[in-house]
């Protein structure tokens, strides 16, 4: 029974990561014709509207929150706004596989953040894996070399913002529904994008771009719903490993859609980051078994 649940969870996680990467692909396609804030605003309107309907139908949309939860969700919303700005800006200027490779450091930064901020125990093996993973990120970014691009640092900043976002989510009370948190966060991104969209010159949206926007909205909602379902099926330590599917999908889409293929050093760095992340997840799973 557990094996079947793990398989189901793995498939859901793979579906989630594929959907998120497909969303990134459509955003990058839109960047050819439309400015950043116009894209983010139009997408945010669709995402918030659909997410609000889902939360309302599920009966989980409520705004009576405790003081600590309000503060955590507010901080999480600010971090989400920062993540959207840095990640999408990097995505518009770098090959999709490069950005995705840097984002794979997220499990490492969340583990490190949990140890430093939340005082969760992390042994020397995982700390060593995190250090090795950061070497992999350095190989991807390569500051000080001719191949360095400032937008690589934007991707690193996005990792930092998402780390703060995820650490806040860990501390929010369990009786606050995930959809409620996501809806409030979506409103924050919508407000940020509306402020930016109000001061830029809008470009006409072609039928093709409307189709790309619709696909982006559907993909990001699908990614969110799949990821929530994945974390509720099977063992978290097993299912979480399949988040690295996004890198494989990004490599394929980067080559087929944009004609991009990372350099050998970038691929090496990505491999180091993924290997370090997999080891960290495996070690965390083993520690939980020992504790049990």
pTM given for the model? 0.90
The answer to whether 265 touches 38, Cβ cutoff 8 Å, is: no
Give the distance between the most distant pair of CA atoms in the chain: 59
Report the percentage of the chain scoring pLDDT > 90: 57
- Res 197 pLDDT > 60: yes
Q: How confident is the model at residue 175 (pLDDT cuts 50, 70, 90)?
A: confident
Average pLDDT value for residue range 262-275: 94
Average pLDDT value for residue range 196-203: 96
Asked whether residue 6 carries a pLDDT value surpassing 70, the answer given is: yes
Specify whether the CB–CB gap between 71 and 178 falls below 8 A.
no
Q: Of 110-119, 137-146, 173-182, where does mean pLDDT reach its minimum?
A: 173-182
Q: Where along the chain do its domains lie? A: 2-291
Phi then psi dihedrals of residue 95, to 5 deg: -55, 140
Structure confidence at residue 65 (pLDDT): 83
Mean pLDDT of 30-56: 93
**Mean pLDDT in the chain?**
89
Q: Residue 215, class by beta-carbon neighbours within 10 Å (0-12 exposed, 13-18 middle, 19+ buried)?
A: middle
Nearest to 213 by CA among 39, 19, 79: 39
User: How far apart, in whole angstroms, are the C-alpha atoms of residue 162 and residue 150?
Assistant: 19
Higher pLDDT, 102 or 240: 102
Q: Note whether 151 and 90 are within 8 A (CB).
A: yes
Stretch 185-205: mean pLDDT: 96
């Amino acid at each position: 029974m557990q094996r079947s649940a793990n398989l189901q969870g793995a498939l859901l996680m793979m579906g989630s990561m594929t959907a998120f990467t497909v969303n990134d692909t459509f955003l990058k396609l839109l960047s050819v014709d439309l400015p950043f804030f116009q894209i983010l605003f139009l997408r945010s309107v669709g995402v918030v509207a659909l997410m609000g309907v889902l939360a309302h139908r599920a009966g989980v949309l409520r705004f009576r929150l405790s003081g600590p939860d309000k503060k955590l969700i507010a901080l999480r919303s600010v971090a989400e706004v920062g993540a959207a700005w840095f990640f999408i800006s990097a995505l518009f200027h770098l090959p999709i596989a490069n950005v995705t490779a840097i984002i794979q450091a997220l499990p490492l930064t969340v583990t490190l953040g949990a140890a430093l901020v939340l005082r969760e125990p992390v042994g020397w093996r995982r700390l060593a894996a995190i250090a090795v993973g950061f070497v992999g990120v350095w190989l991807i970014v390569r500051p000080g070399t001719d191949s360095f691009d400032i937008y690589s640092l934007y991707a690193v900043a996005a990792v930092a913002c998402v780390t703060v976002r995820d650490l806040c989510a860990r501390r929010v009370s369990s009786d606050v529904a995930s959809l409620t948190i996501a809806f409030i966060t979506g409103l924050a991104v919508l407000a940020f994008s509306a402020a930016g969209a109000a001061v830029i010159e809008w470009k006409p949206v072609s039928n093709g771009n409307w189709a790309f926007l619709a696909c982006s909205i559907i993909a990001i909602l699908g990614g969110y719903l799949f990821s929530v379902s994945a974390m509720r099926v099977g063992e978290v330590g097993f299912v979480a490993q399949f988040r690295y599917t996004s890198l494989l999908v990004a490599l394929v889409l980067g080559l087929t859609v944009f004609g991009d293929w990372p350099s050998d050093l970038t691929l090496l760095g990505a491999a180091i980051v993924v290997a370090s992340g997999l080891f960290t997840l495996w070690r965390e799973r083993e520690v939980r078994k020992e504790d049990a």
